């Protein structure tokens, strides 16, 4: 997200991700077939068998079984696992796209505690394994659109964040939810560079946090989250630019006032609190009208049009009714 990345985004990372393994397409077809069958019978939700076929042959992590939620299967092709796990933004491990994959082996995702605190009746420190058992794990295939102009389609595994919010019983003062990432220099070499005011922090309005799309995420591609993707637990907010989806969370804090967020603090004129994907509001350095799909679109492929709210308008446009989305970017 720094200026120094400008121009390199469309550089030498592209060719190696052009070729999508055949097995991947076969798996994808099976999932879609199962999803279609379930939709036809009205049994949306369960597809454990289909899900089992999603596991990538290259995957190294521990398996995580989850049923595909067929409400969240877009018609887009899923991005190959190798791209999802090698083209990352996780500045705690370096600022180059390949740094997290190379450096995040020093992150220790077990044991891991996550504190749910602030304006709630039921503050609680969860162990990561408790989170895994709170509600049935779901697979959700979401588009991820980065403010830098690229996108991916990722089969996440998680539970609705609303499950945590409901258990916490927010008080009447809770208007926002803040997400705080781990900041441990012994595990995260990138912290020695003061790019951002660590720990990485993000936030949502309460109704955004409660929206059924907002996923507390613990896995992808049938496995526990790889370190570089935010192990062991992150949030994923698919209608917002990727930087809102904070990784390796240690705190979920309910607060009364709009919380400070890392990128907004860094450059308030560039990164707004809302950061809803919006093709009509450009970032000062990157047009938001179009995007390039990692692993699919080559250098000469015409860029694809970015969709308002990343294509999730039906589920979220009502949250912003009457709001000036240019002023509240
Ligand atoms: N969370 C933390 N803690 N640190 C980060 O640098 N980068 C964000 C977001 N979450 C980031 C973070 C950005 S800019 C993006 S685009 C997404 O993570 C990338 O997620 P991915 O690498 O899993 O695709």
Q: pLDDT tens, 165-182?
A: 999 999 999 999 999 999
List Cα–Cα distances, 123 to 171, 237, 251, 259, in angstroms: 11, 23, 11, 18
Calpha distance 240→30 (Å, rounded): 29
Q: What's the mean per-residue pLDDT of the chain? A: 86
Hey, which of 243, 267, 283, 295 would you mutate to test ligand 1's pocket, going by the most ligand atoms within 8 Å of its Cβ? 243
How much helix, strand and coil, in percent to the nearest 5, is found in the chain? 30, 20, 50
Out of 76-85, 207-216, 266-275, 297-306, which region has the weakest mean confidence (pLDDT)?
Answer: 297-306
Mean pLDDT for 68-90 is 95
Which long-range CB contacts under 8 A does 9-16 form with residues at least 24 apart? 9/148, 9/149, 9/150, 10/292, 10/299, 13/87, 13/97, 13/98, 13/294, 14/298, 14/299, 15/298
Question: Binding site annotation covers 258?
Answer: no
Ligand 1 atom showing the smallest separation from residue 154 Cα = 24
Task: Check: CB of residue 215 under 8 Å from CB of residue 239.
Answer: no
Between 216 and 10, where is the model more confident?
216
Q: How far is the CA of 283 from the centre of ligand 1 (A)?
A: 18
Backbone angles phi, psi at 117, to 5 degrees: -150, 180
Question: Binding site annotation covers 91?
Answer: yes
Q: Is the pLDDT of residue 8 over 60?
A: no
CA 275 to chain centre: 14
Q: What is the pTM of this model?
A: 0.85
Mean pLDDT for 63-84 is 94
Residue 262, sorted as left (phi over 0), alpha (psi -120 to 50) or beta, turns out to be: alpha
Question: Binding site annotation covers 87?
Answer: no
Calpha distance 92→129 (Å, rounded): 24
Mean pLDDT for 290-311 is 94
Ligand 1 atom showing the smallest separation from residue 181 Cα = 3
Calpha distance 161→214 (Å, rounded): 6
* Pocket of ligand 1 from Cβ distances under 6 Å: 1, 88-92, 144, 146, 181, 200, 229-230, 242-243, 245-248
Q: How far is the CA of 30 from the centre of ligand 1 (A)?
A: 30
Task: Please give the pLDDT value at position 32.
Answer: 52
228: which DSSP letter?
G
Q: How far is the CA of 121 from the centre of ligand 1 (A)?
A: 30
CA 146 to chain centre: 10
Which residues lie below 8 Å from residue 61, measured CB to CB, with a gap of 6+?
Answer: 223, 224, 225, 226
Which residues lie below 8 Å from residue 196, measured CB to CB, with a gap of 6+?
Answer: 91, 262, 263, 265, 266
Structure token pair of residue 111 = 């044991």
Strand partners, 176: 205, 255
Q: How far is the CA of 326 from the centre of ligand 1 (A)?
A: 24
Hey, which of 80, 97, 247 would you mutate to test ligand 1's pocket, going by the most ligand atoms within 8 Å of its Cβ? 247
Nearest CA, atom 22, ligand 1: 88
Mean pLDDT for 55-74 is 76
Residue 248, sorted as left (phi over 0), alpha (psi -120 to 50) or beta, turns out to be: left
Question: Binding site annotation covers 92?
Answer: yes
Question: Binding site annotation covers 17?
Answer: no
Instruction: Report residue 48's pLDDT band, with 50, 70 and 90 as the boundaries.
Output: very low
Question: pLDDT tens for residues 130-169?
Answer: 999 999 999 999 999 999 999 999 999 999 999 999 999 9
Calpha distance 284→266 (Å, rounded): 14
Strand partners, 16: none
Domains of the chain (ranges; CATH) run 15-320 (3.90.420.10)
Mean pLDDT for 95-119 is 98
Task: Please give the pLDDT value at position 35.
Answer: 47
List Cα–Cα distances, 321 to 206, 313, 317, 318, in angstroms: 16, 11, 7, 5
Between 273 and 25, where is the model more confident?
273
Question: Binding site annotation covers 253?
Answer: no
Q: Is the pLDDT of residue 9 over 60?
A: no
Instruction: Report residue 31's pLDDT band, with 50, 70 and 90 as the boundaries.
Output: low
Between 14 and 184, where is the model more confident?
184
Mean pLDDT for 24-42 is 43
Nearest CA, atom 10, ligand 1: 246
Q: How far is the CA of 285 from the centre of ligand 1 (A)?
A: 19
């Amino acid at each position: 997200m720094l200026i120094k990345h400008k121009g390199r985004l469309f550089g030498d990372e592209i060719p190696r991700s052009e070729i999508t393994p055949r097995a991947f397409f076969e798996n994808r077809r099976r999932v879609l077939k199962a999803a279609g069958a379930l939709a036809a019978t009205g049994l949306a939700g369960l597809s454990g068998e289909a899900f089992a076929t999603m596991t990538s042959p290259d995957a190294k992590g521990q398996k995580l079984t989850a049923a595909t939620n067929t409400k969240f299967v877009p018609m887009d092709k899923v991005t190959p696992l190798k791209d999802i796990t090698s083209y990352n933004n996780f500045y705690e491990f370096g600022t180059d796209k390949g740094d997290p994959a190379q450096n995040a082996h020093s992150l220790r995702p077990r044991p891991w505690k996550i504190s749910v605190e602030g304006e709630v009746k039921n503050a609680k420190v969860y162990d990561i394994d408790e989170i895994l058992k709170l509600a049935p794990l779901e697979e959700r295939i979401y588009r991820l659109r980065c403010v830098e102009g690229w996108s991916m389609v990722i089969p996440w595994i998680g539970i609705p964040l609303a499950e945590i919010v409901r258990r916490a019983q927010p008080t009447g003062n809770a208007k926002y939810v803040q997400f705080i990432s781990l900041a441990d220099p012994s595990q995260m070499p990138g912290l020695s560079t003061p790019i951002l005011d660590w720990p990485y922090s993000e936030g949502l309005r309460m109704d955004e946090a409660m929206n059924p799309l907002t996923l507390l995420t613990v896995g992808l591609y049938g496995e526990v989250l790889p370190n570089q993707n935010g192990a062991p637990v992150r949030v994923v907010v698919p209608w917002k630019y990727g930087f809102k989806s904070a990784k390796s969370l240690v705190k979920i804090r309910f607060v009364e006032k709009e919380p400070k967020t890392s990128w907004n603090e860094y450059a308030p004129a560039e990164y707004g609190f809302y950061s809803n994907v919006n093709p009509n509001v450009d970032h000062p350095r990157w047009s938001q009208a179009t995007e390039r799909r990692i692993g699919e679109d080559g250098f000469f492929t015409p860029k694809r049009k970015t969709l308002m709210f990343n294509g999730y308008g039906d589920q979220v446009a009502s949250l912003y009714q009457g709001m000036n989305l240019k002023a509240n970017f």
